[in-house]
Structures are given as structure tokens and as C-alpha cells.
Structure 1
Amino acid sequence: MSSSEGDRAASVTELAQELVRRPSRAGIDDYGPVLEVLEDWLGVRGLPHRRLHHQGELAGLLVEIPGGRPGRWWALDACVDTAPYGDESAWSFPPDSGDVVSGWLRGRGSADSKLAAAMFCHLAADLAPRAAELHGGLAVLLDVDEHTGTFGGARAYLADEHAARPEGVMIGYPGLDEIVVGGRGLWRAVIAVPGPAGHSGSRRTQVGAVSRAAHLVRLLDAAHLPGADGASGFPLGPKLTVTAFHGGAGFSTTPDLCELNVDVRTVPGFDAREAEALIRKAVAELDADMPSPRPTDVTPVASWPPFRLTEDEQPAATLFEATAAQGLRVHAKVAGPSNIGNLLAGEGIPATAGFGVPYEGLHGTDERAHLAALPQVYAAYRQAVLSLLSQP
């Protein structure tokens, strides 16, 4: 590693440390402090940036480096909001420590994805002095509405009439051995299961909402889902999960309503339409088996399509070439969880959704990111961006 590469890695790490030390848990912390760190850093270097809002709420920061020649725009994306800490007593160091110990950057967001945010800001600073020779332009999206699942920063970026629409996006989730080129989609719904209200000690026998909802959970757990379809080229099958169950209070009242949250992960051979049909079939069976004064209600709340890039599609192809040039052996991966790539796929924008440094404890206890490979990861993204911006 050259001295300049070492200096850059040290600078990226320093910025990431400052970001980790500003708690930015989704739905818990104020996002202003963590964005102010980025704004100060960008401002000192004269990089154009502006805040984004979604539905009236602060959702992210957008950096734009326009090239001096006609061409396509590309985007780098990293979130700077984080998962919650969980049980802080289980951590062996403070979740907002931001220190570096034995080559590991420690703290919530170190892996997902404040190190990537710091890296992408440095990439923008690297490219800005040579912008006149580049085609199109580079946008860096720093999202603070990602871990909510709303993806408000990405939505605000795509809806911004002043922003150039990107030809493709590279998302800076961590992981050195793979480039994520796809993910299962999702279909989500809230199911309102009614039942007769009454006193739990009543002599009258009645099946309440909680019992009806429990029966529905059993029906959903037993629902048949197809396996992975090898012929489709998509390596994963669909998955159905009941993720929440709410109803009742105290002991003496039989509640008249119980609500379930249902999450269905979709694939090309089992899409949102089929997911909804499966859920409604189970609900119809419940209402037939255990009649109630009111029918059970299904309210869809979110739907994203599955996506998969081939390795010769951009921006995946260029990123694979750049990692190979750094001597890294990476493979393509289709992820089980959904991500911003699914949202982008619904907009017709191809995205990679993960290549970065090794990590541990993502969304869990003792989150940390290993820094040894940071120079190679940085160089790979830099080469990929320059290659994309060299094409008309």
C-alpha cells in the first residue's frame, strides 16, 4: 500500500469514526448531527450537496458531481441511519464508541453503512477535480431513512426534479467476498382478525379474536410455497413469515380484534399477486372454519419486486472487473432479504447491493468492520466509477 493510499484509508476511517459517534438509530435519534458531520466535511472541500426530504421529514443528503461531457449519470448509495442497539449490556464496548481496535472499526453503523458513506464522500472528492473530463455525472446518496424500511432518501432522490436520473446504482453494504446482484422481493400486509367481544368468565362459549388469529397463524404456517426454480436462474424460493401479533389487554376481556403482520418474500415464479392470493385463501378458510360477525380484513402495506442482474449488466459488470483488478475473488449473490435494490428495480434502475469490507455483528451485538481491505475496496469502487464515467 502506497503512502497516498494509506493516507486516504486513514482519512476515510477518521470520517467514519465521527459518523459512528453520532447515534442515528432509525426512528429513535435525530439525524441532524450525523448529517452535519458530512455537511461540514463536504463543505470544507467545496463539494456541492443538499438535504433531501420525504413526506416532510429529513431523509438524506445528496452530493452531485456533474461531468463536463455528455453522458449517463451513476450513483453511489450508503445509509447513515442504523439499526437500534438492542441490549446495550450485551455489548463489550459502547455502541457509539467509533474506536479502532486491532484493525476493527467498532460501533453501530460501522458495517452498515457509515464506513461506506465515508468512502463514497472521499470518492466524490477524488473525482471533483477531474470532473471536466468525465461523461455524465456522479451522485452520492447518503440516506437517513433506510433502516425504517421506507427508503425515504432513495424515494426523495428519484422524485427530485432537479436530480439527474441514474443509469445504475452501487449500494455500499459490506462484505468482501461477494457482490450482491439481486434479492427477493416482498409483499406485506396487516390482517385484522375480528371476533365477538365479551367477558372471559362468561358462561357463553365463543371463539374470540385471539383464538381466531392463532388459527390463522397455523393456516399460514402450513401454507404450501413452491421451492426454488432452478430454470429461472433465481436461486431462492419464496418465504412467508408472521412477524407481529397484537390483540387484547389484561385478563377479563375477550378482545374483538387481533392484528397480524405478514411478510412474504417473493421471487420471479411467485410474485406479489400470488402472495396476496395465498394470504386471502387462508383468510377465507379461517372465516369458513370459524365464522365471525365481521369478515377478516387484509390490508396490503408494501410490495417490491424481486430483482437479479446478470454479471454482464451494468453496473455489476464494471464492479466485477474492478474487483478482479484488485486481486479480489468475489462471486455474485442473490440475497434473501430485500434492500434498496428492490425499490430501484421497480423504477427500472439496475443496482448492486453489497460489496465492502468484512464485518461482524451487523444489526446485532458488537457490530464492527475490518479495515485491512479498505484500500482495495476503495480502489475497486474508484476504478468502477471512473470506468462508468468514461463512457458517453
Structure 2
Amino acid sequence: MTDPVQLTADLIRCPSVTPEEGGALVLLERVLSDAGFECARADRGDVSNLYARWGKKGHARSFGFNGHTDVVPVGDEAAWTKPPFGAEVHNGVMYGRGTTDMKSGVAAFAAAAIDFVRETPPDGAIILAITGDEEGDAVDGTTALLDYMDQADERMSVCLVGEPTCPNQMGEMIKIGRRGSMTAWFTVTGVQGHSAYPHRAKNPLPAMARLMDRLASHELDQGSDHFDASTLAVVNIDTGNSATNVIPAQCTGAVNIRFNDLHSGASLSEWLQTEADAVAKAFDVAIEIKIKISGESFLTPPGPLSDLVANAVKAETGIQPELSTTGGTSDARFVKNHCPVVEFGLVGRTMHQVDECVEVAQIDQLKAIYSRILTDYFS
């Protein structure tokens, strides 16, 4: 049997901080190739990506796993009580950057896939799409893998992303969608002047304050059938002005919006522009906007795929998982354009933290869940 705990430890010892490959994908390619998977690299730019398939190309039925081996920076290494790339186990807990997010998830689904095809070769294909660029800009990661699959006429029928999804207890939550995410940067330009003569200047600060207040005070919605209410957070206001006797000529600000399926990036962009135009006119200043849409909201409606995963989770944990769309973004936002996708993985309490860690027993449990999902899917 393939040991997911040992494979997790081996991956943790690969210092794959985005965008460094760190040896993690090289290790997985070797392990999967030895098990009979056909592997190909789908690298793009400075990003390393691995595609692995067991089964005939173009088979009508294929189950896909998606995940990432890149990790966020360690931060202050002196604050760690265990080596961040040591994979040390103490009292049944493994420590290291990526233990939770998400090398243990990758190890669990790789181990489950390897053992499954060895023991009961399925009538179909199993596909593993693993990127080294989820924690970064994600421009050349899973999107590059999906582009490679399109060009190679490869396809997943359904996909499970192995991100940590459980808030506190193993098995309590499956993600069936994600909110959209976008950031807008505003530059308000007026006329610089002396603070003793404000009538001779056009102060951009009151305009920025009014705009931020209008945006933050606006109720975007009250939620939808499967999503909480959309949120807007003011994340920056800055002038760079340290002089109290000068009215600055320019001020910048930014907001981040997490939105549900009642909106699109385009509709919210139009609303932001309308609000900015109204404030610019009222204060006789110029307001420029730069917008980045990181991902649109999406939903995989409850049905066969979520039932498949939920039944396996309950069988292995005794817990009926909640179907949720909470949290930030993930690479599922790209996969959803390719095939139906859900997410299930470990408890994510320590992800991105100092002394990130995972209970060793949870890694074995996660492999068992993934194994049962494969068995039930191909039965």
C-alpha cells in the first residue's frame, strides 16, 4: 500500500515556495510513473505543472484530482518551533509548511489513485492535474494544465480539488462553489494647495472619503440560495503626504469585493464606475479606476458529484458534511469551466500559519475517503 504520510513528509521536505518547484513535482512524477501513470509536464513561464493519467486517452469516463504543491513563504523562521521543511512528527502531528495547504491532500489523492489502479483497475481513466502556482498569481498553473488538456484532447468527466475545506473537524464541509473575488484601485486627482487656503485647491481626500463611505455603506445583496451575502472591504487609503500645511494633489484607495452568484465581475465593475463618476462630479476631481477580477463566482449544484463525495465522507468519518460556498478563492474557479468540480480536504485551521501542521491520522483518513470515492465512482 502507498503510504500517504510518508509521501506527505517527502513533499514537505521539498522547499517549493511559489514559484519554485523545489523537487516536489519531480518526486510525484517519479512515484506516479513507477505506478503506471503516463506523466507529462505542462510547464509555462516560470511555473512547473504535472499532468498524470492512468487509463486510455479520451476514455468516456474519467475522474480527476486537482491540487498544488507550491506553498506560501515561511515568514519569520525564528518563530517556528519546528523546522518549516522538516516534516517532523511530534505526538501524532506533522509540522511543516504545506502540511495542511496542501501537500497532504496531494499525497492522499496520489496514494489513493496509485493503490486503486493496482488493486482494481477501473473501466475508465484517473487524471491528476497538479500545479506549482496556486499560491501565486495562478496565471500559469491550473490554467496551463487545462490548456494542455484541451490541446492534447484530454478531459476529466468530474474533478475533486483537494484543498483543505473543513473548518474544525474532519469531514464537516465540502465546497460546491466559491465566491467571486475582485479588487479595485482608485486614484483621485485634484489640485495641490496650501492648507490655509483650501479654496485655491481641489482636495482629493474628501472625495476619496465620500467614495469609500458610499461603497462600504452599500448593501450589495442579502445572499442567495447557496451563498452568503456579498462583501466589500476598504483595504487601503493613502496620500503619501506627511505635511500638515499642504493639501495633496492625489490620493489612492482600494477595495476588495467577494461576491456571490447574484453578480458578475462586469456588473460590479460598472457599479464601481458609476459611483466613482458621481463622486468625481460632486467634488470636481478626476477619479481613475483599475480593476482586477481574480475569479467569478460559481456553483456546482448539489447532485451526483456532491452526493458521491458526501457519501464517502460520511462512510469514513460518520459525519454528514455541509455543502458550502464559503471561504476565499481556489483553482476550482478554473476547473469549473472544464467539468463539474467540488472540493474536499483536511481541516484548515493552521494553513499559512507559523508551525503549520496536520494530524497524521487525518492524512490516512483522507486517503481512505478518496479511495472510497474512486471505488464508488467506478463501481
TM-score if structure 2 supplies the norm length?
A: 0.85
Residue of structure 2 in register with 1:23 after alignment: 15
Go from structure 1 to structure 2 and tell me whether the alpha carbon gap of 1:143 and 1:197 turns closer, same or farther (over 3 Å shift). farther
Residues 156-235 of structure 1 aligned to structure 2 (within 5 Å): 156-160=144-148, 161-162=151-152, 164-174=154-164, 175=166, 176=170, 177-196=172-191, 205-209=200-204, 212-229=207-224, 233-235=225-227
CA shift, 1:198, in A, is 6.5
Which string of whole-angstrom CA distances, capped at 9 and with x for unpartnered residues, describes residues 65-117 of structure 1?
12489422221011111223334444333322311111111111100000111
CA shift for structure 1 position 58: 1.7
Does 2:102 correspond to 1:110?
A: no
Q: How does 1:121-136 map to 2 (within 5 A)?
A: 121-129=110-118, 133-136=121-124
Q: Structure 2 stretches of 5 or more lacking a match?
A: none
Q: Between the two proteins, what is the percent identity of the paired residues?
A: 21
Return the letter of the residue paired with 2:234: V
1:332 and 2:323 equivalent?
A: yes
Farther-moved stretch of structure 1 (142-151 vs 102-111): 142-151
* Residue in 2 that maps onto 1:12: 4
Maintained 8 Å contact 1:98/1:105: yes
SS in structure 1 at match of 2:304: coil
> 2:284 matched to 1:291?
yes
Verify the 8 A CA contact 2:65 2:127 in the aligned structure 1: yes
Secondary structure of the residue aligned to 1:71 is coil
1: distance between equivalents of 2:153 and 2:116? 18
Q: Conserved in 2, the CA contact under 8 Å of 1:194 and 1:258?
A: yes
Greater Cα shift, 256-265 or 220-229: 256-265
8 Å CA contact 1:359–1:367 kept in 2: the answer is no
- Return the offset for 1:249: 6.9
The question of whether the paired residues in 2 share the 8 Å contact of 1:59 and 1:145 is answered with yes
Structure 1 residue 187 displacement after superposition: 3.2
Q: Structure 1: give runs of 5+ residues left out of the alignment.
A: none
| Structure 1 residue 254, shift from structure 2 partner | 6.5
| Aligned residue number for residue 344 of structure 1 | 335
- Matching of residue 262 in structure 1 with residue 255 in structure 2: yes
AA matched with 2:233:
T
Question: Structure 2 CA distance, aligned partners of 1:60 and 1:34?
Answer: 10
Counterpart of 1:52, as a letter, is A
Q: Which deviates further from its counterpart, 99-108 or 255-264?
A: 255-264
What secondary structure does 2:25 align onto?
A: helix
Preserved CA contact (<8 Å) 1:360 1:369: no
State the shift of 1:311 in Å: 3.4
How big is the shift at 1:197? 5.1
- Answer yes or no: is the 8 Å Cα contact 1:68–1:134 preserved in 2: no
Q: Distance in 2 between matches of 1:259 and 1:59?
A: 36
CA–CA distance in 2 between the matches of 1:202 and 1:88?
A: 51
Distance across 2 between alignment mates of 1:205 and 1:24: 55
CA distance in 1, matches of 2:129, 2:31: 15
1:322 equivalent to 2:312? Answer yes
1:309 deviation in Å?
2.9
Contact map agreement 2:14 2:22 (CA 8 A) in 1: no
Q: Is the 8 A contact 1:71 1:135 kept in 2?
A: no
CA contact (8 A) 2:4 2:367 kept: no
Distance in 2 (CA, whole Å) between partners of 1:323 and 1:123 is: 14
CA contact 1:179–1:331 (8 Å) conserved in 2: yes
Distance 1:41 1:259, change over 3 A: farther
The CA deviation string for residues 108-145 of structure 1, in whole angstroms up to 9 with x for no partner, is 110000011112222332244368x5233111122111
| Whole-Å separation in 2 of the counterparts to 1:205 and 1:320 | 66
Q: Which residue of 1 aligns with 2:66?
A: 77
Distance of 2:173 and 2:105 partners within structure 1: 15
For residue 172 of structure 1, report the CA deviation from its aligned partner: 0.8
For the residue of structure 1 that corresponds to 2:268, the secondary structure is: helix
Distance, in Å, in 2 between the alignment partners of 1:63 and 1:102 is 34
Deviation of the 1:269 alpha carbon: 2.2
State the match for 1:97 in structure 2.
86
CA deviation string 1:226-267 (max 9, x = no partner):
2123xxx22401011233456537759876554434321111
Q: 1:371 aligns with which of 347, 360, 366?
A: 360
95-104 vs 147-156, which moves further:
147-156
1:332 aligned partner, one-letter code: L
| Code of the aligned partner of 2:154 | A
Equivalent AA in structure 1 for residue 14 of structure 2: R
With over 3 angstroms needed to count, the CA separation of the structure-2 counterparts of 1:69 and 1:206, relative to structure 1, is: closer
Distance 1:82 1:353 in 2: 18
SS of 2:366's equivalent in the other structure is helix
Task: Give me the whole-angstrom Cα distance separating, in 2, the residues matched to 1:244 and 1:26.
Answer: 25
User: What's 2:133 paired with?
Assistant: 145
CA RMSD of aligned residues (A): 3.0
Aligned to 1:301: 292
Q: How far did residue 170 of structure 1 move? A: 0.5
Distance 1:351 1:60 in 2: 19
